[in-house]
Amino acid sequence: MTLLTSTSGGTHGLLPEQLGTLIVQPVREKSVALRVATVVTTTSNEYRIPVVQGDAGVAWLAEGSEITASDADFDELVVRPAKVGGLSVISRELAEDSAPSAQAVVGDGLAEKIARGLDSAFFGNTVANGPSGLLSVTGVSTVDTGGTIANTDPFAEALSKAETVGATVTAFVAHPTTVLTLAKVKKQTGSNEPLLGYDASQPTQRQVLGIPLIPSAAVALGDVWAIPAAKVLVVLRDDVRLDVDRSRYFEFDKIGIKATLRAGIAFPHPEAIVRLYDAP
């Protein structure tokens, strides 16, 4: 049985259509950026986001008096999705194994590569050949933790700063080591009750002040990001594109499977995002 482009003749090779399903959903599940941001899809090479810099004026009026016209001040962000991708080389035998477990091995591997690449850009600084991330954004609100978080006060301050500019924090994101440090903090001296809460319906989901705390290795150690999903966008150009090549690795009897995703990132309201960190 060989890798086929159809399932005629009763064979069930690992097909691009099958791999697409195995990669697209895992990418969305594995990527923290896609979980904490608003995700939009475009079929264009650029996506324009209107930004309101100044609202139209309003005033209290006497009965029958004229309402004075005023215009809102608009600007726009232009997002041009860049490409992130991964390449896996697998044996012909694995490609021809129709068992779901064999297909999952391929899909998970590629999804992991793409998700890591996207998260690295999202939580990083300026990225060569890719979108610039949170560390590159000017005007982000900050909370100085002094290097140690001993209670929920810094998180409460972050929520307040977001709310002051009309935003609602929907997730906190930190490095897994930082999350572990926070998980060891107790509510008070002599107590065994952890500072972090948990959602009974999702036992592995940690919470701070009722808001999910999500681990991501892409976040710098000691940092915690307070993310309002409505104010952060990830723009996907279509979805994952898949290419299968049997010729390049012909003499090794292997098959190359390449998956790429074009994505852009936009932060139209920087003040709504809060970074909790040890300020220099």
Give tens-digit pLDDT for 73-128.
667 778 899 998 888 888 877 777 656 655 566 767 788 889 999 999 999 998 88
43-47, 60-64, 148-152: range with lowest mean pLDDT = 60-64
Task: Provide the CATH number for the domain around residue 169.
Answer: 3.90.1690
Highest averaged pLDDT of the listed ranges 19-33, 38-52, 69-83, 263-277: 263-277
Give tens-digit pLDDT for 212-265.
999 999 999 999 999 999 999 999 987 777 777 888 888 888 888 888 889 999
Separation between Cα atoms, residue 17 and residue 13, nearest integer Å: 11
Whether residue 242 lies inside any domain: the answer is yes
Whether residue 207 lies inside any domain: the answer is yes
Both structure tokens of 275: 């970074």
Domain span at residue 167 reads 10-53+72-266
The residue type found at 93 is: E
Dihedral sign, Cα of residue 42, residue 44, residue 47, residue 48:
negative
Query: What mean pLDDT do residues 16-44 have?
Result: 80
Task: Give percent above pLDDT 90 in the chain.
Answer: 42
Both structure tokens of 172: 């906190």
Q: Tell me: pLDDT of 7 over 50.
A: no
What does pTM read for this prediction? Answer: 0.80
Whether residue 167 lies inside any domain: the answer is yes
Q: Tell me: pLDDT of 157 over 50.
A: yes
Separation between Cα atoms, residue 89 and residue 254, nearest integer Å: 7
Question: What angle, rounded to 10 degrees, do the helices at 100-122 and 16-30 form?
Answer: 50
Query: What mean pLDDT do residues 33-44 have?
Result: 92
Q: Tell me: pLDDT of 275 over 90.
A: yes
Whether residue 65 lies inside any domain: the answer is no
| DSSP-derived 3-state class of residue 184 | helix
pLDDT at 144: 97
Whether residue 36 lies inside any domain: the answer is yes
Which has more pLDDT, 86 or 1? 86
The residue type found at 162 is: A
pLDDT at 256: 84
Burial of residue 244 (CB within 10 Å: 0-12, 13-18, 19+) is: middle
Burial of residue 141 (CB within 10 Å: 0-12, 13-18, 19+) is: buried
Whether residue 257 lies inside any domain: the answer is yes
Q: Tell me: pLDDT of 1 over 70.
A: no
Separation between Cα atoms, residue 121 and residue 26, nearest integer Å: 18
pLDDT at 56: 59
Separation between Cα atoms, residue 175 and residue 170, nearest integer Å: 17
Q: How many domains does the chain have?
A: 1
Q: Element (H or E) spanning 104, and its range?
A: helix 100-122
Q: How many CA atoms lie within 13 A of 127 on its CB side?
A: 23
Question: How many C-beta atoms lie closer than 10 Å to residue 157's C-beta?
Answer: 18
Give tens-digit pLDDT for 158-206.
999 999 999 999 999 999 999 999 988 887 777 777 888 876 666 678 8
pLDDT at 277: 97
Whether residue 159 lies inside any domain: the answer is yes
Task: Give bridge partners of residue 39 from the DSSP assignment.
Answer: 234
pLDDT at 119: 95
Separation between Cα atoms, residue 212 and residue 198, nearest integer Å: 9
Give tens-digit pLDDT for 12-28.
445 555 555 667 777 88
| DSSP-derived 3-state class of residue 34 | helix
The answer to whether 5 and 15 have CB atoms below 8 angstroms apart is: yes
Q: How many CA atoms lie within 13 A of 163 on its CB side?
A: 6
Whether residue 122 lies inside any domain: the answer is yes
pLDDT at 100: 60
